[in-house]
Amino acid sequence: MRFSRVTTTIAALCMVTGAPLNAQVANEELKQLIDSVPSVKLPRLGQRPIAPNAPMEDFAKQAKELADKVIAEGRLSNIDQYQAIDPARLEQAAELAKQVQESMREKLLQEGMQQNQVDALAGQGPEPYENKPKPEAVLFVSSSMPESQLKAAYKYAEQRGIVVYYRGLLPGTKNIPQSIARVRKQVASLNLKSEPKIGIDPIAFDDHDITVVPTLVISRDGQQAMVSGLFNLDYLQEQLVAAPADTDVDLGSRGTVYDIKERHLVAEMKARAANIDWKAKQKETVASYWQRKAIPSLPRATKDEQFWIDPTVRVTKDVLNAQGDLLARAGETFNPIAKYVLHITYLIIDASSEAQIRWAQAQLAEITGQFQLMITGLNRSRGWDGYTEIRQRLKVPVFVMPALAKQRFQLTAVPAKVATTESGYLQVNQYQLKDEL
């Protein structure tokens, strides 16, 4: 389907200015055209024109990300019926999700989990566990074993290059560093040439169905052999070599074995996560949102000023649509306002100024066509109550002005009004208010 002139123009202009969209839509042809157009600082009239091959990566990136997001979310399928979502709720939800994830990560790190382990749980690790190379020989142990036997295990592991695994945190320790510190203290008393590889890996316990310790497991060419109650690598290797191909060897218990004392680390993590008061975290995140929110600031205007911006950019390579039709040739200039004519007005105010709020009310009563209201300063101490009050007073959606809009509109003070013109330019007015003198 073809998009309406209104929605296409909004998308085009907002891609040029970096301002947020009331209706987040993008024409597929416009998307392809924008994809090829890099970003430059748009000149005021009378300034030196844009260089033909000026680097404009930001423009393409912003436009592409927006268009791809809209298409991926399926909003183009029913664009005529699309209604804008409350921007405050969108930002609040996104920020809450981010904070919950960060709170969980911080909690796990505080509890002693290593950064790479936390990343793996969050799906951000460099490689999934099952794809990592497994050690050829592993000795599974527990603090339930006598200290003398544990020290013998460490010494044997160091001599033969065997990895030693515990299932979870040692009793009496609160985190992984504390557990490892206790083990290292035991190892230090042995005066070994090097420290054996000792870690906590509950997944390895699960993979080999380890229920008692000590248990020695070796793996080679798809086969594995295991024995409990002793750690004799040569003996176990002989048994593996003698076994038929593709047959695993389980020698059972050949000595004294002990139950596993440590709690499964994953179960421990789940239990601790369950104790986190997520409702309190949610309230804390919502309450502190405006304290953390980046809000660009602009001084109050001390004089009236008017200037124009030419949004024309130069296409750096040929742009084709999905059917192969040429939309723009390399070297051609492109002005989205001139190509998709529609009047759009942006009002930018300092939300902490009563005079500017009254100015915006008066402007809104006279504006025709599409518009958007953006704010800079805000009383952070009032948080959501202050933001909600402004929206209720102005009776329109209110957006925090993105830094890119400040740059594109070349704003130096507020209140300001930016509007498209029939000639294809952006007209920018900054006003000195008598009430603020």
Q: Model confidence over 219-276: pLDDT tens digits? A: 888 889 999 999 899 999 888 888 888 889 999 999 999 999 999 988 888 888 777 7
pLDDT at 132 exceeding the cut of 70: no
**pLDDT at res. 329:** 84
Q: CB–CB of 163/199 below 8 Å? A: yes
Question: Span 98-116, mean pLDDT?
Answer: 54
In this predicted model, what pLDDT tens digit does every residue of 349-358 receive, in sequence order? 998 899 999 9
Q: CB–CB of 22/82 below 8 Å? A: no
- Find residue 259's DSSP bridge partners: 212
Instruction: Residue 154: count other Cβ atoms within 10 Å of its Cβ.
Output: 24
Distance between CA 416 and CA 252 in Å, rounded? Answer: 81
Q: CB–CB of 67/26 below 8 Å? A: yes
**pLDDT at res. 427:** 92
pLDDT at 205 exceeding the cut of 70: yes
Question: Span 82-88, mean pLDDT?
Answer: 45
Helix (H) or strand (E) holding 215: strand 215-220
Q: Does pTM top 0.75 for this prediction?
A: no
E strand spans, 223-267: 223-228, 249-253, 258-259
pLDDT at 103 exceeding the cut of 60: no
**pLDDT at res. 262:** 94
In this predicted model, what pLDDT tens digit does every residue of 29-71 receive, in sequence order? 444 443 444 433 444 443 333 333 333 334 344 444 555 555 5
**pLDDT at res. 330:** 87
Question: Span 306-310, mean pLDDT?
Answer: 91
**pLDDT at res. 300:** 92
